[in-house]
Amino acid sequence: MIRVLDENGGLLNITNYFFFHIYIFLQIYCLATCSNHYFNTYNLFWTLIASPLFAVGSTAVTMSRKLEPVCSLSGHTDRVWQVAWDPAGRTLASCSADKTVRLWSETGAGWSCATILADGHERTVRGVAFSPSGRLLASASFDSTAAVWDREQAWECAATLEGHESEVKAVAWSRSGKYLATCSRDKSVWLWELTDDRELDFECAAVLMAHTQDVKRVSWSPVEDRLASCGYDDTVRLYRDDGDDWVTGAVLKGHSSTVWAVAWDGAGKRIASASDDGTVRIWAETQPPDQWSCVALLSGFHQRAVYDVAWCPLTGLLATACGDDAVRVFAEEPGAGDGGAPAFGLVASVPRAHGRDVNAVSWSPTERGLLASAGDDNLVKLWRVSEE
Partner 1 sequence: MSGSDRLENVNPQIHSTAGQRPVTAAELDNSVTDPIDAREVFDLVRDIADPEHPLTLEQLNVVEQELIEVDPAAGLVQVQFTPTIPHCSMATLIGLSIKVKLERSLPARFKIDVRITPGSHASERAVNKQLADKERVAAATENGRLLEVVNQCLVPPAAAGGA
**Does residue number 97 form part of the binding site for partner 1 (CB under 8 A)?**
yes
Residue 305 or 317 with smaller CB distance to partner 1: 305
> DSSP class of residue 167?
-
CA dihedral 371, 374, 377, 380 (to 10 degrees): 60
What is the smallest separation between the CB atom of 231 and partner 1, expressed in angstroms?
Answer: 11
Q: How far is CA 281 from the centre of its chain?
A: 11
99 versus 270: smaller Cβ distance to partner 1: 99
Binding region for partner 1 (CB under 8 A) out of 86-94, 123-131, 221-229, 332-340: 123-131
Q: How far is CA 354 from CA 24, 79, 320, 351, in A?
A: 38, 11, 13, 8
E-strand spans in 64-144? 67-73, 80-85, 91-96, 101-107, 110-117, 125-130, 136-141
**Is residue 211 near partner 1 by the rule CB under 8 A?**
no
| Alpha carbon separation from 349 to 314, 318, 326, 384 (Å, rounded) | 19, 12, 7, 12
Does residue 214 belong to the site contacting partner 1 (CB under 8 A)? yes
Candidates 3, 76, 79, 255: give the one binding partner 1 (CB under 8 A).
Answer: 79
- Show contacts with partner 1 in window 292-311 (CB under 8 A): 304-305
Q: Does 124 bind partner 1 (CB under 8 A)?
A: yes
| Binder among 47, 115, 133, 257 for partner 1 (CB under 8 A) | 257
Q: Which of 204, 355, 386, 387 binds partner 1 (CB under 8 A)?
A: 355
Q: Can residue 276 be called a binding residue for partner 1 (CB under 8 A)? A: yes
Among 7, 8, 49, 123, the residue binding partner 1 under the rule CB under 8 A is: 123
Residue 373 within binding range of partner 1, rule CB under 8 A? no
Using CA atoms, how far apart are residues 100 and 138, in angstroms rounded to an integer? 13
| CB-count burial class (<10 Å; 0-12, 13-18, 19+) for 348 | buried
Report the C-alpha gap between 76 and 102 in whole angstroms: 8
Q: What is the contact mask toward partner 1 in residues 144 to 183, using x (rule: CB under 8 A)?
A: -----------------------x-x--------------
Sole binder of partner 1 in the list 189, 294, 357, 385 (CB under 8 A) = 357
Size of the site for partner 1 (CB under 8 A): 26
DSSP for 319-330 reads: EEEETTS-EEEE
Q: Of 85-93, 293-301, 339-347, 349-357, which part binds partner 1 (CB under 8 A)?
A: 349-357
Helix (H) or strand (E) holding 21: helix 17-33
* Residue 79 C-beta: closest distance to partner 1, Å: 8
Q: Which is nearer to partner 1, 126 or 270 (CB)?
A: 126
Stretch that binds partner 1, among 147-155, 221-229, 247-255, 355-363 (CB under 8 A): 355-363
Closest CB to partner 1 among residues 359, 364: 359
Query: What's the rounded Cα separation, in Å, for the pair 358 and 374?
Result: 6
Rounded to the nearest whole angstrom, what is the least distance from the CB of residue 304 to partner 1 in the complex? 7
Name which position in 173, 232, 311, 363 contacts partner 1 (CB under 8 A). Answer: 232
> Looking at the chain, how many residues does it have?
388
Tell me whether residue 4 or residue 26 sits nearer to partner 1 (CB atom).
Answer: 26
Q: Phi then psi for 22, rounded to 5 degrees?
A: -60, -40
Applying CB under 8 A, does 332 fall inside the site for partner 1?
A: no
Q: Does residue number 381 form part of the binding site for partner 1 (CB under 8 A)?
A: no
Q: What angle do CA 164, 232, 138 make, to 5 degrees?
A: 40
Instruction: Examine residue 142 and tell whether it contacts partner 1 (CB under 8 A).
Output: yes
Q: Kindly report the backbone phi and psi dihedral angles of residue 188, in degrees, each rounded to the nearest multiple of 5, phi listed first.
A: -105, 155
105: three-class secondary structure by DSSP? strand
Residue 126 touching partner 1 (CB under 8 A): yes
Nearer to partner 1, 65 or 216 (CB): 216
Cross-strand pairs, 71: 382
Let me know: does 222 contact 175? Beta carbons within 8 Å: yes
| b/e per residue 8-26 (b: at least 16 CB within 10 A) | ebbbbeeeeeebeebbeeb
Site of interaction with partner 1 (CB under 8 A)? 35-37, 79, 97, 123-124, 126, 142, 167, 169, 185, 214, 216, 232, 257-258, 276, 304-305, 323, 355-357, 376-377
